[in-house]
Structure 1
Amino acid sequence: MNSRTPRPPHGSSRAGPPPRPGRRTFGAVCAAVGALVLAAPGCGVLSPGSNGQTSDDITVTSTMIREGEAIPARFTCKGEGVSPPLRWSGLPDETESLAIIVDDPESVGGAAVHWVLYGLDPENPELPEGTVPQNGKQGQNSKEQAAYDPPCPSGDTAHEFRFTVYALKADIALPDGAPLDQALGAVASNTLARGRLIATGGR
Protein backbone atom coordinates (compact mmCIF):
# COMPACT_ATOMS: atom_id res chain seq x y z
CA MET A 1 0.00 0.00 0.00
CA ASN A 2 1.27 3.45 -0.75
CA SER A 3 2.74 5.32 2.19
CA ARG A 4 0.29 7.64 3.85
CA THR A 5 0.23 9.64 7.02
CA PRO A 6 -2.38 7.93 9.21
CA ARG A 7 -5.25 10.14 10.19
CA PRO A 8 -7.92 9.58 12.80
CA PRO A 9 -11.41 8.60 11.64
CA HIS A 10 -13.95 11.35 11.38
CA GLY A 11 -17.62 10.53 11.73
CA SER A 12 -20.55 12.74 11.09
CA SER A 13 -24.17 11.84 10.55
CA ARG A 14 -25.53 12.98 7.23
CA ALA A 15 -29.14 13.17 6.27
CA GLY A 16 -29.98 12.33 2.70
CA PRO A 17 -32.40 14.29 0.52
CA PRO A 18 -36.14 13.96 1.15
CA PRO A 19 -37.56 10.57 0.15
CA ARG A 20 -38.89 10.28 -3.37
CA PRO A 21 -41.79 8.03 -4.23
CA GLY A 22 -41.23 4.53 -5.43
CA ARG A 23 -38.25 2.19 -5.50
CA ARG A 24 -36.06 1.53 -8.46
CA THR A 25 -36.01 -2.21 -8.89
CA PHE A 26 -32.68 -3.80 -9.47
CA GLY A 27 -33.88 -4.95 -12.86
CA ALA A 28 -33.70 -1.32 -14.00
CA VAL A 29 -30.24 -0.98 -12.55
CA CYS A 30 -29.08 -4.14 -14.32
CA ALA A 31 -30.32 -2.79 -17.62
CA ALA A 32 -28.19 0.30 -17.06
CA VAL A 33 -24.99 -1.35 -15.90
CA GLY A 34 -25.11 -4.69 -17.64
CA ALA A 35 -23.34 -7.57 -15.88
CA LEU A 36 -21.98 -5.36 -13.10
CA VAL A 37 -24.40 -5.66 -10.33
CA LEU A 38 -25.84 -7.72 -7.03
CA ALA A 39 -25.02 -11.45 -7.11
CA ALA A 40 -28.48 -12.76 -7.80
CA PRO A 41 -29.54 -15.00 -10.66
CA GLY A 42 -29.17 -13.07 -13.91
CA CYS A 43 -28.00 -9.92 -12.17
CA GLY A 44 -24.55 -10.50 -10.71
CA VAL A 45 -23.90 -6.20 -7.17
CA LEU A 46 -20.33 -6.72 -8.50
CA SER A 47 -20.09 -10.47 -8.47
CA PRO A 48 -16.72 -12.23 -8.10
CA GLY A 49 -14.53 -11.81 -11.11
CA SER A 50 -16.70 -9.08 -12.64
CA ASN A 51 -13.53 -7.28 -13.77
CA GLY A 52 -11.44 -10.42 -14.20
CA GLN A 53 -9.21 -9.68 -11.19
CA THR A 54 -11.54 -9.49 -8.18
CA SER A 55 -10.71 -11.56 -5.11
CA ASP A 56 -12.68 -12.18 -1.92
CA ASP A 57 -9.76 -11.69 0.46
CA ILE A 58 -11.22 -8.89 2.60
CA THR A 59 -12.63 -9.89 5.99
CA VAL A 60 -15.67 -7.85 7.11
CA THR A 61 -16.98 -7.97 10.68
CA SER A 62 -19.22 -5.98 13.01
CA THR A 63 -19.56 -5.64 16.75
CA MET A 64 -23.35 -5.65 16.30
CA ILE A 65 -23.99 -8.15 13.49
CA ARG A 66 -22.97 -11.80 13.33
CA GLU A 67 -22.52 -13.60 10.04
CA GLY A 68 -25.67 -15.48 9.03
CA GLU A 69 -27.74 -14.26 11.98
CA ALA A 70 -30.74 -11.92 12.07
CA ILE A 71 -30.00 -8.25 11.54
CA PRO A 72 -30.74 -6.31 14.76
CA ALA A 73 -33.88 -4.17 14.58
CA ARG A 74 -31.77 -1.09 15.34
CA PHE A 75 -30.41 -1.14 11.79
CA THR A 76 -33.78 -1.68 10.08
CA CYS A 77 -36.95 0.32 9.47
CA LYS A 78 -38.37 -1.30 12.61
CA GLY A 79 -35.80 0.39 14.86
CA GLU A 80 -33.61 3.46 14.72
CA GLY A 81 -32.77 2.85 11.06
CA VAL A 82 -29.08 3.69 11.42
CA SER A 83 -26.21 2.04 9.55
CA PRO A 84 -24.33 -0.62 11.55
CA PRO A 85 -20.67 -0.42 12.60
CA LEU A 86 -18.32 -2.30 10.29
CA ARG A 87 -14.65 -3.30 10.40
CA TRP A 88 -12.43 -4.77 7.69
CA SER A 89 -8.97 -6.21 7.15
CA GLY A 90 -6.95 -7.88 4.42
CA LEU A 91 -6.88 -5.04 1.90
CA PRO A 92 -4.55 -5.43 -1.09
CA ASP A 93 -1.38 -3.32 -1.00
CA GLU A 94 -2.54 -1.41 -4.08
CA THR A 95 -5.74 -0.16 -2.41
CA GLU A 96 -6.24 3.57 -2.90
CA SER A 97 -9.86 3.91 -1.77
CA LEU A 98 -12.77 1.91 -0.36
CA ALA A 99 -16.47 1.62 -1.14
CA ILE A 100 -19.33 -0.04 0.74
CA ILE A 101 -22.51 -1.35 -0.84
CA VAL A 102 -25.47 -2.69 1.16
CA ASP A 103 -28.01 -4.71 -0.78
CA ASP A 104 -30.89 -7.16 -0.44
CA PRO A 105 -31.21 -9.60 -3.37
CA GLU A 106 -34.55 -10.89 -2.03
CA SER A 107 -36.35 -7.56 -1.70
CA VAL A 108 -40.02 -7.54 -2.68
CA GLY A 109 -40.31 -6.27 -6.24
CA GLY A 110 -36.70 -7.07 -7.13
CA ALA A 111 -33.24 -6.85 -5.60
CA ALA A 112 -32.54 -3.52 -3.90
CA VAL A 113 -29.48 -1.45 -3.01
CA HIS A 114 -29.84 0.13 0.44
CA TRP A 115 -26.61 2.11 0.59
CA VAL A 116 -23.73 3.16 -1.64
CA LEU A 117 -20.73 4.75 0.10
CA TYR A 118 -17.40 5.57 -1.56
CA GLY A 119 -14.31 7.73 -1.18
CA LEU A 120 -13.29 6.03 2.09
CA ASP A 121 -9.69 6.19 3.30
CA PRO A 122 -8.11 2.70 3.39
CA GLU A 123 -5.96 3.78 6.35
CA ASN A 124 -9.13 3.76 8.45
CA PRO A 125 -10.14 0.12 9.18
CA GLU A 126 -13.67 0.77 10.44
CA LEU A 127 -16.92 2.61 9.95
CA PRO A 128 -18.69 3.72 13.17
CA GLU A 129 -22.43 3.21 13.57
CA GLY A 130 -24.68 5.76 11.90
CA THR A 131 -21.90 7.83 10.34
CA VAL A 132 -20.31 8.81 7.05
CA PRO A 133 -16.60 9.65 7.28
CA GLN A 134 -15.63 13.22 6.48
CA ASN A 135 -14.07 12.18 3.18
CA GLY A 136 -16.88 9.78 2.26
CA LYS A 137 -19.59 10.35 -0.33
CA GLN A 138 -22.97 8.66 -0.76
CA GLY A 139 -24.40 7.60 -4.08
CA GLN A 140 -28.10 7.11 -4.63
CA ASN A 141 -29.74 3.92 -3.41
CA SER A 142 -32.66 2.12 -5.08
CA LYS A 143 -35.04 4.79 -3.73
CA GLU A 144 -32.91 7.48 -5.39
CA GLN A 145 -31.79 8.82 -2.02
CA ALA A 146 -28.16 9.52 -1.17
CA ALA A 147 -28.49 7.94 2.27
CA TYR A 148 -28.68 4.66 4.17
CA ASP A 149 -32.10 3.19 3.46
CA PRO A 150 -32.75 0.85 6.41
CA PRO A 151 -33.84 -2.64 5.36
CA CYS A 152 -37.43 -3.65 6.13
CA PRO A 153 -37.46 -7.44 6.53
CA SER A 154 -40.93 -8.99 6.36
CA GLY A 155 -42.06 -12.07 8.22
CA ASP A 156 -43.14 -13.78 5.01
CA THR A 157 -39.97 -13.54 2.96
CA ALA A 158 -36.41 -14.67 3.68
CA HIS A 159 -33.82 -11.96 3.14
CA GLU A 160 -30.05 -11.69 3.01
CA PHE A 161 -28.74 -8.23 3.81
CA ARG A 162 -25.23 -7.99 2.39
CA PHE A 163 -22.68 -5.49 3.66
CA THR A 164 -19.87 -5.56 1.10
CA VAL A 165 -16.57 -3.68 1.32
CA TYR A 166 -14.69 -3.07 -1.95
CA ALA A 167 -10.98 -2.25 -2.19
CA LEU A 168 -10.46 0.08 -5.15
CA LYS A 169 -7.38 0.82 -7.23
CA ALA A 170 -8.37 4.50 -7.56
CA ASP A 171 -10.64 6.98 -5.87
CA ILE A 172 -14.07 7.37 -7.45
CA ALA A 173 -14.41 10.76 -9.14
CA LEU A 174 -18.12 11.15 -8.44
CA PRO A 175 -19.86 13.70 -6.20
CA ASP A 176 -22.37 13.07 -3.44
CA GLY A 177 -25.69 11.90 -4.83
CA ALA A 178 -24.34 10.22 -7.96
CA PRO A 179 -26.93 8.03 -9.74
CA LEU A 180 -26.88 4.40 -8.66
CA ASP A 181 -25.81 2.99 -12.03
CA GLN A 182 -22.89 5.44 -12.27
CA ALA A 183 -21.71 4.70 -8.75
CA LEU A 184 -21.90 0.93 -9.22
CA GLY A 185 -20.14 1.18 -12.55
CA ALA A 186 -17.30 3.21 -11.03
CA VAL A 187 -16.91 0.71 -8.19
CA ALA A 188 -16.91 -2.24 -10.59
CA SER A 189 -14.28 -0.77 -12.89
CA ASN A 190 -11.90 -0.07 -10.00
CA THR A 191 -12.40 -3.13 -7.77
CA LEU A 192 -9.31 -5.04 -6.63
CA ALA A 193 -10.92 -7.17 -3.91
CA ARG A 194 -14.01 -7.40 -1.76
CA GLY A 195 -15.35 -8.90 1.43
CA ARG A 196 -18.88 -9.39 2.69
CA LEU A 197 -20.84 -9.70 5.91
CA ILE A 198 -24.31 -11.23 5.50
CA ALA A 199 -27.19 -10.80 7.95
CA THR A 200 -30.63 -12.36 7.59
CA GLY A 201 -34.17 -11.16 8.08
CA GLY A 202 -37.73 -12.48 7.79
CA ARG A 203 -39.06 -15.95 8.44
Structure 2
Amino acid sequence: MKKALKLFFVVFGILLLPIAEAGALTLTSPAFLDGERMPLNSGYKNGNISPALQWSGFPERTESFALIMDDPDARGWPHWVVFNIPVSVTGLMENFPREEELPDGTRQGLNDFKKVGYGGPSPPSGVHRYVFRLFALDSRIELDAGCSKRALLNAMKGHVLAEAKLTGKYGN
Protein backbone atom coordinates (compact mmCIF):
# COMPACT_ATOMS: atom_id res chain seq x y z
CA MET A 1 0.00 0.00 0.00
CA LYS A 2 2.82 2.43 0.87
CA LYS A 3 4.48 1.81 -2.50
CA ALA A 4 1.21 2.44 -4.35
CA LEU A 5 0.61 5.62 -2.38
CA LYS A 6 4.16 6.81 -2.97
CA LEU A 7 3.82 6.10 -6.71
CA PHE A 8 0.51 7.98 -6.77
CA PHE A 9 2.10 11.10 -5.25
CA VAL A 10 5.14 10.92 -7.53
CA VAL A 11 2.97 10.64 -10.66
CA PHE A 12 0.41 13.16 -9.39
CA GLY A 13 3.18 15.62 -8.46
CA ILE A 14 4.83 15.30 -11.87
CA LEU A 15 1.51 15.91 -13.57
CA LEU A 16 0.85 19.00 -11.46
CA LEU A 17 4.30 20.52 -12.00
CA PRO A 18 3.59 21.95 -15.48
CA ILE A 19 0.22 23.24 -14.30
CA ALA A 20 1.76 25.05 -11.34
CA GLU A 21 4.49 26.52 -13.53
CA ALA A 22 2.04 27.48 -16.28
CA GLY A 23 0.03 29.69 -13.93
CA ALA A 24 3.05 31.89 -13.16
CA LEU A 25 3.85 33.16 -16.67
CA THR A 26 2.26 36.52 -17.53
CA LEU A 27 2.22 38.50 -20.78
CA THR A 28 1.30 42.20 -20.91
CA SER A 29 1.64 45.22 -23.15
CA PRO A 30 2.05 48.88 -22.20
CA ALA A 31 0.08 49.68 -25.38
CA PHE A 32 -3.22 47.96 -24.47
CA LEU A 33 -4.88 45.92 -21.74
CA ASP A 34 -5.99 42.32 -22.17
CA GLY A 35 -9.30 42.24 -24.05
CA GLU A 36 -9.06 45.91 -25.07
CA ARG A 37 -8.40 47.62 -28.40
CA MET A 38 -4.91 47.62 -29.83
CA PRO A 39 -3.38 50.94 -30.94
CA LEU A 40 -4.46 52.16 -34.38
CA ASN A 41 -0.83 52.23 -35.60
CA SER A 42 -0.51 48.47 -34.96
CA GLY A 43 -2.80 47.80 -37.94
CA TYR A 44 -1.30 46.53 -41.19
CA LYS A 45 -2.54 49.58 -43.14
CA ASN A 46 -2.03 52.13 -40.35
CA GLY A 47 1.69 51.91 -39.63
CA ASN A 48 2.11 48.16 -39.06
CA ILE A 49 3.97 48.84 -35.80
CA SER A 50 4.15 45.90 -33.43
CA PRO A 51 3.13 46.72 -29.86
CA ALA A 52 5.68 46.40 -27.08
CA LEU A 53 5.25 43.21 -25.05
CA GLN A 54 6.56 42.28 -21.60
CA TRP A 55 6.56 39.03 -19.67
CA SER A 56 7.52 37.66 -16.28
CA GLY A 57 7.11 34.65 -14.03
CA PHE A 58 8.58 31.99 -16.29
CA PRO A 59 9.68 28.57 -15.01
CA GLU A 60 13.29 28.11 -13.88
CA ARG A 61 13.91 25.46 -16.54
CA THR A 62 13.09 27.88 -19.36
CA GLU A 63 15.74 27.90 -22.12
CA SER A 64 13.95 30.08 -24.68
CA PHE A 65 10.63 31.71 -25.55
CA ALA A 66 8.39 31.63 -28.61
CA LEU A 67 5.58 34.03 -29.49
CA ILE A 68 2.70 33.54 -31.90
CA MET A 69 0.11 36.19 -32.70
CA ASP A 70 -2.90 35.05 -34.65
CA ASP A 71 -6.50 35.96 -35.44
CA PRO A 72 -8.90 33.26 -34.22
CA ASP A 73 -11.75 35.07 -36.00
CA ALA A 74 -10.03 34.46 -39.35
CA ARG A 75 -9.25 30.74 -39.12
CA GLY A 76 -6.15 31.33 -36.98
CA TRP A 77 -4.42 33.61 -39.50
CA PRO A 78 -0.85 34.04 -38.20
CA HIS A 79 0.30 37.64 -37.87
CA TRP A 80 3.58 37.06 -36.05
CA VAL A 81 5.82 34.04 -35.44
CA VAL A 82 8.90 34.55 -33.23
CA PHE A 83 11.07 31.88 -31.62
CA ASN A 84 14.43 31.21 -29.96
CA ILE A 85 13.99 34.37 -27.93
CA PRO A 86 16.77 34.10 -25.29
CA VAL A 87 15.71 33.45 -21.70
CA SER A 88 17.47 36.70 -20.72
CA VAL A 89 14.93 38.69 -22.79
CA THR A 90 11.73 39.65 -20.97
CA GLY A 91 9.95 41.58 -23.68
CA LEU A 92 9.85 42.73 -27.29
CA MET A 93 10.16 46.41 -28.07
CA GLU A 94 7.59 48.37 -30.04
CA ASN A 95 8.19 48.21 -33.80
CA PHE A 96 10.27 45.05 -33.42
CA PRO A 97 12.72 44.60 -36.33
CA ARG A 98 11.41 42.53 -39.25
CA GLU A 99 14.58 40.52 -39.68
CA GLU A 100 14.76 36.76 -40.13
CA GLU A 101 17.37 36.41 -37.39
CA LEU A 102 18.55 38.95 -34.84
CA PRO A 103 22.06 39.07 -33.35
CA ASP A 104 20.83 37.43 -30.11
CA GLY A 105 19.57 34.38 -32.05
CA THR A 106 15.89 35.33 -32.08
CA ARG A 107 14.29 34.08 -35.29
CA GLN A 108 11.07 35.06 -37.00
CA GLY A 109 8.78 33.04 -39.19
CA LEU A 110 6.36 33.92 -41.95
CA ASN A 111 3.05 35.60 -41.29
CA ASP A 112 0.08 35.01 -43.60
CA PHE A 113 1.04 38.10 -45.59
CA LYS A 114 3.99 35.88 -46.67
CA LYS A 115 6.48 38.21 -44.97
CA VAL A 116 8.90 37.65 -42.11
CA GLY A 117 8.09 39.40 -38.85
CA TYR A 118 5.07 41.29 -37.61
CA GLY A 119 2.09 41.77 -39.89
CA GLY A 120 -0.52 43.85 -38.11
CA PRO A 121 -4.26 43.39 -37.89
CA SER A 122 -6.22 43.86 -41.09
CA PRO A 123 -9.71 42.50 -40.50
CA PRO A 124 -11.92 42.42 -43.61
CA SER A 125 -14.88 43.73 -41.59
CA GLY A 126 -15.88 44.18 -37.99
CA VAL A 127 -13.79 43.80 -34.88
CA HIS A 128 -11.44 40.81 -34.68
CA ARG A 129 -9.53 39.38 -31.72
CA TYR A 130 -5.76 39.06 -31.95
CA VAL A 131 -4.22 36.59 -29.53
CA PHE A 132 -0.56 36.83 -28.53
CA ARG A 133 0.60 33.50 -27.08
CA LEU A 134 3.93 33.36 -25.31
CA PHE A 135 5.51 29.97 -24.71
CA ALA A 136 8.28 29.24 -22.21
CA LEU A 137 10.28 26.34 -23.69
CA ASP A 138 12.78 23.89 -22.24
CA SER A 139 15.05 24.19 -25.30
CA ARG A 140 15.81 26.24 -28.37
CA ILE A 141 13.92 25.25 -31.51
CA GLU A 142 15.83 23.74 -34.42
CA LEU A 143 14.02 25.49 -37.25
CA ASP A 144 15.17 27.94 -39.87
CA ALA A 145 13.94 31.52 -39.86
CA GLY A 146 11.04 32.00 -42.24
CA CYS A 147 9.24 28.88 -41.02
CA SER A 148 5.46 28.64 -40.75
CA LYS A 149 3.35 28.82 -37.61
CA ARG A 150 2.45 25.16 -38.10
CA ALA A 151 6.12 24.12 -38.31
CA LEU A 152 6.88 26.01 -35.10
CA LEU A 153 3.92 24.50 -33.24
CA ASN A 154 5.02 21.02 -34.33
CA ALA A 155 8.63 21.66 -33.28
CA MET A 156 7.50 22.91 -29.85
CA LYS A 157 5.57 19.73 -29.01
CA GLY A 158 6.89 18.29 -25.78
CA HIS A 159 8.94 21.41 -24.99
CA VAL A 160 6.33 23.82 -23.61
CA LEU A 161 6.79 24.53 -19.90
CA ALA A 162 4.25 27.36 -19.65
CA GLU A 163 2.02 29.54 -21.81
CA ALA A 164 0.56 33.01 -21.36
CA LYS A 165 -1.98 34.83 -23.51
CA LEU A 166 -2.81 38.44 -24.23
CA THR A 167 -5.77 39.35 -26.42
CA GLY A 168 -6.22 42.62 -28.27
CA LYS A 169 -9.05 43.80 -30.50
CA TYR A 170 -8.81 45.67 -33.77
CA GLY A 171 -11.27 46.80 -36.42
CA ASN A 172 -14.56 48.66 -36.63
Instruction: Establish whether TM, by shorter chain, passes 0.5.
Output: yes
Per the alignment, residue 119 of structure 1 pairs with 84
Which TM-score applies when normalising by structure 1? 0.67
Matched, 1:144 2:127: no
Find the counterpart in structure 2 of residue 78 from structure 1. 45
The 3-state SS of whatever aligns with 2:131 is strand
Which consecutive residues of structure 1, in runs of 5 or more, have no partner in the other structure?
Answer: 1-52
Q: 1:122 to 1:73 in 2, by over 3 A?
A: same
In the TM superposition, what whole-angstrom CA distance separates every residue of 1:155-192 from its partner, at most 9, and x where no partner exists?
A: x4331111111100100011211233211211333211
Contact 2:50–2:118, Cα closer than 8 Å, also in 1: yes
Which residue of the partner structure matches residue 184 of structure 1?
153
Letter in 2 for 1:68: G
How many equivalent pairs are there?
149
In the TM superposition, structure 1's runs of 4+ consecutive aligned residues that sit over 4 Å from their partners are none
Task: Give, in whole Å, the separation in 1 of the partners of 2:73 and 2:144.
Answer: 29
* 1:1-203 alignment runs, 5 A limit: 53=18, 55-107=22-74, 110-132=75-97, 133-134=102-103, 135-154=105-124, 156-203=125-172
1:201: Cα distance to partner?
A: 2.1
Letter in 1 for 2:86: D
**Unmatched tracts of structure 2, length 5 or more:** 1-17
Shift of 1:148: 1.1
- Aligned-pair identity (%): 31
State whether residues 57 and 194 of structure 1, in contact with CA within 8 Å, keep that contact through their aligned partners in structure 2: no
After TM superposition, the score normalised by the length of structure 2 is 0.78
